[in-house]
Amino acid sequence: MIRLETGDAVFVYRVAGVALAGDRVLLHRAEPDDFWSLPGGRVELMEFARDALRREMLEESGEEVRVERLLWVVEEFFEWNGRPHHELALYFLMTFPPGSRALSSDTFVGAEQDLPLVFRWHRLADLDGLTVYPVFLKERLQRLSPAPEHVVDCRLPTAGPERSE
């Protein structure tokens, strides 16, 4: 996985997938967490981003996905476990094949190594009542642009002059 630690800060290169089914989006969380996010994971060195998303979905959910188009290139600055993080992430639209377990169940369980993951379909209209990271998702999931967008999401006071786009 591409992860660089320098001093107290951490840099990560990540991919995530947006799966939509009607008016619902698939989110996931680790069992101990109190927030939701889009499924995905870290890219390996010399791995194509689309291949990384397919691999991560298969590893964590047991499901094969078709990676569609790029939605967002995201620069995110946040604190996690007491350390500042700088994450570069590519978000892709993805679909599950017909008959997939993911499409036939509102909630299903996966795992990241030994950590249980909960996958759940949430109505887009209900996202305001959830804690979802990154925070830009609540708005952007309501209106997917036909062209890729660059998003900067900064939740660190010392990450630079630009706060968000």
Domain encompassing residue 35: 3-139
Domain membership of residue 51 (yes or no) is yes
Q: What is the pLDDT of residues 52-76, one digit of tens each?
A: 999 999 999 999 999 999 999 999 9
For all residues of the chain together, what is the average pLDDT? 93
Give Cα 95 to chain centroid, integer Å.
14
Domain membership of residue 145 (yes or no) is no
* CATH number, domain containing residue 42: 3.90.79.10
HSE on the CB side for 62, CA within 13 Å? 12
Domain membership of residue 152 (yes or no) is no
**Residue (of 134, 148, 50) closest to 94 by Cα position:** 50
Confidence class for position 113, pLDDT limits 50, 70, 90? confident
Domain membership of residue 146 (yes or no) is no
Average pLDDT on 107-124 reads 94
Is-contact 18 91, C-beta < 8 A? yes
Q: Using CA atoms, how far apart are residues 115 and 129, in angstroms rounded to an integer?
A: 25
Instruction: State the pLDDT at residue 157.
Output: 77
Domain membership of residue 125 (yes or no) is yes
Confidence class for position 32, pLDDT limits 50, 70, 90? confident
Bridge partners, residue 27, by sequence = 120
What sections of the chain are H helices per DSSP? 49-61, 101-104, 137-140
Average pLDDT on 77-96 reads 96
Domain membership of residue 161 (yes or no) is no
Number of domains present in the structure of the chain: 1
Domain membership of residue 163 (yes or no) is no
Q: What is the pTM of this model?
A: 0.92
Q: With a cut of 80, say whether residue 135 has pLDDT above it.
A: yes
